[in-house]
Amino acid sequence: EDQVTQSPEALRLQEGESSSLNCSYTVSGLRGLFWYRQDPGKGPEFLFTLYSAGEEKEKERLKATLTKKESFLHITAPKPEDSATYLCAVQAGGGSNYKLTFGKGTLLTVNP
């Protein structure tokens, strides 16, 4: 069964203090790894898709990287508006089951 483990569960940073969130996964044939952002009371919002080891994607202060076992979401010089829960999800290749398996998320709080 596909599994996604995110760490830490919660992370508190000062504004401008860079850090990384981790997403470890086990999946039978990775079709894609996805990062979403979820604000309180809202649905997840798509950030990135990574397809193969070594791939990197960037958006503003966020950079996602992928290895064969894990993905990192690097946050450079975060601002208070980056505070949210960041969700990682994997999609297995093959067959007709196209479901995403989500991790529990990392709650990021950026203090001014």
Partner 1 sequence: DTAVSQTPKYLVTQMGNDKSIKCEQNLGHDTMYWYKQDSKKFLKIMFSYNNKELIINETVPNRFSPKSPDKAHLNLHINSLELGDSAVYFCASSPWTGSGEKLFFGSGTQLSVL
Query: Smallest distance from the beta carbon of 4 to partner 1, in angstroms?
Result: 10
- Cα–Cα distances (Å) from 46 to 17, 49, 89, in that order, read 24, 8, 11
* Nearer to partner 1 (CB atom), residue 69 or residue 99: 99
Q: Give the span between the Cα atoms of 12 and 19, in whole angstroms.
A: 10
Query: Smallest distance from the beta carbon of 51 to partner 1, in angstroms?
Result: 9
* Nearer to partner 1 (CB atom), residue 45 or residue 58: 45
Q: Confirm if 35 and 73 have CB atoms less than 8 A apart.
A: yes
Binding interface with partner 1 (CB under 8 A): 31-32, 34, 36, 41-46, 49, 85, 87, 89, 91, 96-100, 102, 104-105
What is the radius of gyration, based on Cα positions, of the chain? 14
Query: Smallest distance from the beta carbon of 36 to partner 1, in angstroms?
Result: 8
* Nearer to partner 1 (CB atom), residue 50 or residue 110: 50
Using DSSP, how many helices (H) and how many strands (E) does the chain show? Answer: 0, 11
